[in-house]
């Protein structure tokens, strides 16, 4: 028996369905609620400035999957954005009962068709789409998902041609700054309701590893230059990017303590 899948752009009318997908099991978590409030404000601002920048796939009228996208030029912390490039920020299927039923595929297929026709947020100009695959540990690996749906490997990203040739992104790196020494800088992105709660968890993990270390939060959309001039890292300690995930407490603590060693030690 086939399932009914419908895809709708996210507008003010169905905006709250976004969180029924992405925060499906965390709607009562106070920290997640704060992250949701931050993203809700961001979504409404994007709707005003660019039009719809996300879609929801409904399975039997229930929100099951979500995709978020916007022009790369909309990123305030991107120093050299490519013109006519649609960034697919994330695609997520939260409902276990919806996995394996083609919901994610229908969502991405619809986005590709709309990009070919002319998405409102792109003002009718879309040369190609890009995505940086990350894995949540649920369902299919995202890189495999994109590749199986027509994307190709680019330089540090995946891409799908619409009406143009692929152009690699100009990458930036972090140049250690004296002002960043002796403190931690935690960056969070208001386009994801998980980012701010994750920043709070990072602060707690830092407090366990180095209790006296000052911690500063940077909202990447509100203070884009602060993010851009640091190479858009997610966490800096003593002017050094931290790569370890906070879930691996020992590795994270060891990397933080190593970063805090005096120069030449």
Contact 205, 249 (CB under 8 A): yes
pLDDT band at 262 (very low <50, low <70, confident <90, very high): confident
d(CA 142, CA 108): 12
Question: With 90 as the cut, is the pLDDT of residue 139 above it?
Answer: no
Q: How many Å apart are CA 76 and CA 83, to the nearest integer?
A: 14
Q: Taking a C-beta distance cutoff of 8 angstroms, is the pair 131, 158 a contact?
A: yes
Mean pLDDT over the full length of the chain: 91
- 27-67 pLDDT per residue, tens: 999 999 999 999 999 999 999 999 999 999 998 888 999 99
Between 255 and 3, the more confident residue is 255
CA distance 122 to 100: 31
Looking at the chain, the domain(s) classified CATH 3.40.30.10 span: 178-259
Residue 181 pLDDT > 60, yes or no?
yes
Residue 134 tokens, joined: 């990350």
CATH 3.40.630.30 is the classification of domain 5-161: yes
Per-residue pLDDT band for 136 (boundaries 50, 70, 90) equals: low
Asked whether 232 and 172 are in contact (CB, 8 A), the reply is yes
**Which helix (H) or strand (E) element contains residue 187?**
strand 184-188
Contacts of 195 (CB under 8 A, 6+ apart): 35, 38, 188, 189
Q: What is the pLDDT of residues 144-175, one digit of tens each?
A: 999 999 999 999 999 999 998 999 998 888 88
CA nearest to 141, candidates 158, 155, 129 = 158
- The C-alpha angle with vertex 194 and arms to 145 and 223, in degrees rounded to 5, equals 110
For the 178-259 domain, the top CATH level (class) is alpha beta
Which has the higher per-residue pLDDT, 205 or 234?
205
Task: Supply the pLDDT for residue 1.
Answer: 46
CB of 98 closer than 8 Å to CB of 59: yes
Within the chain, which residue ranges are assigned CATH 3.40.630.30? 5-161
The DSSP line for 11-66 is -TTTTTHHHHHHTTTTTT-HHHHHHHHHHHHHHHHHHHHHS--EEEEEETTEEEEE
With vertex at residue 41, the alpha carbon angle to CA 35 and CA 43, rounded to the nearest 5 degrees, is 100
What is the helix (H) or strand (E) element at residue 112, kind and residue range?
A: helix 103-117
Q: What is the mean pLDDT of residues 211-215?
A: 97
């Amino acid at each position: 028996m086939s399932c009914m899948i419908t895809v709708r752009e996210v507008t003010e009318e169905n905006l709250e369905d976004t969180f029924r997908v992405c925060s499906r099991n965390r709607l009562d978590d106070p920290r997640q609620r704060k992250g949701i409030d931050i993203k809700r404000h961001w979504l409404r601002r994007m709707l005003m400035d660019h039009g719809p920048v996300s879609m929801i796939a409904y399975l039997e009228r229930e929100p099951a999957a979500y995709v978020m996208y916007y022009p790369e030029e909309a990123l305030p912390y991107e120093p050299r954005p490519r013109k006519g490039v649609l960034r697919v920020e994330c695609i997520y299927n939260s409902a276990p009962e919806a996995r394996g039923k083609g919901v994610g595929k229908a969502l991405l297929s619809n986005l590709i068709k709309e990009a070919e026709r002319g998405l409102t947020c792109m003002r009718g100009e879309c040369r190609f789409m890009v995505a940086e695959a990350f894995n949540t540990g649920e369902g299919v690996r995202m890189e495999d998902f994109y590749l199986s749906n027509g994307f190709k490997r680019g330089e540090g990203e995946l891409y799908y041609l619409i009406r143009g040739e692929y152009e690699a992104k100009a990458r930036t790196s972090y140049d250690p700054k004296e002002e960043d020494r002796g403190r931690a800088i935690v960056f969070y992105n208001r386009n994801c309701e998980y980012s701010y709660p994750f920043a709070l968890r990072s602060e707690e993990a830092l407090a366990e590893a180095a209790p006296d270390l000052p911690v500063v939060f940077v909202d990447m959309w509100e203070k884009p230059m602060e993010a851009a001039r640091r190479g858009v890292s997610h966490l800096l300690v003593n002017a050094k990017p931290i790569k370890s995930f906070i879930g691996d407490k020992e590795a994270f603590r060891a990397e933080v303590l190593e970063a805090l060693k005096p120069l030449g030690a």
